[in-house]
Amino acid sequence: MSEQITKPVLQLRQINKNFPGVKALQQAQLSLYAGEVHALLGENGAGKSTLVKVMTGVLQKDSGELLLDSTALSFATPKDAQQAGISTVYQEVNLLPNLSVAHNLFLGSEPKRFGLIDKKAMANQARQLLSSFGLAIDVTAPLSEFSVAVQQLVAIARGIAPKRGAACTKVLVLDEPTASLDADEVQTLFQVLRQLKQQGVAIVFITHFLDQVYQVSDRITVMRNGCFIGEYQTAHLNKAELIAAMLGKELCQQRHQAPCLAVEHSEAILTARQLNSGQSVQQLDLDLPQGQAVGLAGLLGSGRTEICRLLFGLDQADGGTLSFAGKPIKLSNPAQAIALGIALCPEDRKTQGMIAPLSIRENISLALQAKQGWWRVLSKKKQQQLADFYIEKLQIATPDADKPIGQLSGGNQQKVILARWLAVEPQLLLLDEPTRGIDIGAHAEILQLIRQLCQQGMSLLVTSSELEELTAFSSKVVVMRDRKKVAELSGEDLNPDRIMAAIAGASV
């Protein structure tokens, strides 16, 4: 971006978007200039995807302004956005495996002859388009014949392919385009991005690989919890500042509360040595002491969630040892973990945790029922007692236990899921991002609950992107980077700045 063109090609202003129980976007904004690569960054749930969906017509904004070339527009469907010149390549390859590569590129705007699709011309145009990507493949073969990386490049090529009746591509949105590419393929992609930049396309680049941000982007917009945090020149923002912006420094009121049970010595309930799991976790040593909460910090993709999955038996270790309460164990499925007294409250409660149409009572009794075996049915009375107990204890805001969980607010949903696992009285509770997407009040309550559980002797492993929060309850914090443990902080060292430094690593 040598000199700035004065007017942005696309501008989003004060965008609000609510889902039931969640404020997905609050006053979000984004400005794109022609010929720039603009990184849109934030942790999971920060609202990046929602913002992109609003600007590509998949979702409708509740309020706010979308200006394309200074004209206010509103897109009802993805097609409208495409017609206006905004193309999107989604995280998963959203193409059609059964159609040929050429057809995937031109579906909906196929070259025609005598009113019929001219397959020969289509193949020729496809070859031409892909040659600029350095791809020389058989464009008449079905897309399913090719690797994910090739499919990803085809998806991007489709994004910039000329479309029938549409303006030429002005904005290209790439949502995690490099997630499934190897290093060489990433470089090919960046080559293409630079080429497109010169042609004056504005590129939105969403990724969680920060190195790639510095390699290719000109400017950065950071989002957190559905809000706009800041817009920066990439060259003027170092990695530590970027991470600080992404993770935030809120919740100061939690900061000065002492972590439970400080660092007094206690037996380890779970010990991992040299634990390995394919590409996702490498050489992990971990001790989880009895009756303490251990924090797990790191950026998205650093291996946090993978550790939780591993310790719950969802993923299998392919090396290293694991022992629980002093005995060596092997976990090959969650049922074994549950039997030992390990519970996992997963990261994404919408898709992995709650069963939206079922009542609070049913959602709470689910795990206990599963543990008991389906032949010993929990009576409705027992379920009701259980539900009432936790509604009272966790202060779940609901008129009664029969309300479907889908109708509760995010914070209350999270409490119900927590109650589900507390009901099985685990010895070790793994909490993956327990406070994401919930309001500040519920947030404090959940932190309070974590402390209480420790006092009752339960051990916890809690992942969170919010560093202040981690320091508020953890006796120690394990920091992950690139799938490896890079630091273990406790006592004096346990503060957000040190954690952030460890996350950012040597490149600070």
Partner 1 sequence: MSRTYLPLWITFALVLLMFGAGASQFDGFASLRVVTNLISDNAFLLVTALGMTLVILSGGIDLSVGSVIALSGVAAALLIGPYQWHPLLAFALILPCAALFGAGMGALIQYYQLQPFIVTLAGMFLARGVATLLSEESVAIEHPFYDAVAEFGLELPDGGWLGATSLLTIALVLLMLVLTHYSRFGSYVYALGGNSQSAQLMGVPVARTTILLYASSSMLAAMAGIIFSFYTYSGYALSAVGVELDAIAAVVIGGTLLTGGSGFIIGTVLGVLLMGLIQTYINFDGSLSSWWSKIVIGGLLFFFIALQKLLSKQWQSKAGGKA
* Binding site residues, partner 1, CB under 8 A: 58, 77-79, 82, 88, 90, 92-99, 103, 107-108, 110, 116-117, 119, 140-142, 144-145, 147-149, 151, 158, 163, 180
Least separation in angstroms between residue 107's CB and partner 1 is 6
Using DSSP's 3-state secondary structure scheme, residue 471 falls into helix
Instruction: Read off the tokens for 478.
Output: 């394990």
Instruction: State which residue, 141 or 377, has the beta carbon closest to partner 1.
Output: 141
| 329: CB partners within 8 A, 6+ apart | 322, 323, 336, 340
Q: Which is nearer to partner 1, 91 or 276 (CB)?
A: 91
State the minimum distance, in angstroms, from the CB of residue 92 to partner 1.
Answer: 7
Report yes or no: 429 and 343 within 8 Å, Cβ to Cβ: yes
Minimum CB separation from partner 1 for residue 392, in Å?
A: 39
Contact 334, 365 (CB under 8 A): no
Q: Is 488 exposed, middle or buried (0-12, 13-18, 19+ CB in 10 A)?
A: middle
The CB-of-104 to partner 1 minimum distance in angstroms stands at 8
Strand, coil or helix: 482 = coil
Describe the crossing of helices 380-393 and 360-372 by its angle, rounded to 10 degrees: 120
Which distant-in-sequence residues (6+ apart) come within 8 Å of 145 by Cβ? none
On the 0-12 / 13-18 / 19+ scale of CB atoms within 10 A, 119 is middle
Min dist CB 79 to partner 1, Å, is 4
Minimum distance from CB of 11 to partner 1 (Å)?
24
What is the smallest separation between the CB atom of 93 and partner 1, expressed in angstroms? 7
Smaller CB separation from partner 1, 149 or 213: 149
Of 149 and 494, which CB lies nearer to partner 1 in the complex structure? 149
Per 3-state DSSP, the chain is made up of helix, strand and coil in percentages (nearest 5) of 35, 25, 35
Closest CB to partner 1 among 27 and 147?
147
C-beta closer to partner 1: residue 87 or 414:
87
Q: For residues 130 and 122, give the distance between their C-alpha atoms in angstroms, rounded to a whole number.
A: 12
The residue to which tokens 């058989």 are assigned: 138
Q: Which is nearer to partner 1, 154 or 503 (CB)?
A: 154
- Whether 20 and 356 have beta carbons less than 8 Å apart is answered as no
Tokens of 28: 């979000």
Cβ proximity of 315 and 309 under 8 Å: yes
Helix (H, G, I), strand (E, B) or coil at 453: helix
Which CB sits closer to partner 1, 110 or 488? Answer: 110
Distances (CA, A) of 278 to 92, 275, 306, 471: 21, 10, 10, 30
Q: How far is the CB of 109 from partner 1 (least distance, A)?
A: 9
Q: How far is the CB of 94 from partner 1 (least distance, A)?
A: 4
E strand spans, 184-262? 202-206, 219-224, 227-233
> Which one, 93 or 487, has the nearer CB to partner 1?
93
**How near is the Cβ of 344 to partner 1 at its closest, in Å?**
24
For tokens 């040595």, the residue is 273
Residue nearer to partner 1 on the CB measure, 86 or 342 = 86
Q: Tell the smallest beta-carbon distance from residue 121 to partner 1 (Å).
A: 12
| 312 exposure class (CB count in 10 Å sphere: 0-12, 13-18, 19+) | buried
CB of 288 to partner 1, least distance (A): 33
- Cross-strand bridge partners of residue 16: 63
Question: Among residues 5 and 96, whose Cβ is nearest to partner 1?
Answer: 96
Strands (E), 33-69: 37-41, 63-68
3-state secondary structure of 359: strand
Nearer to partner 1, 96 or 335 (CB): 96
Q: Are 98 and 77 in contact (CB under 8 A)?
A: no
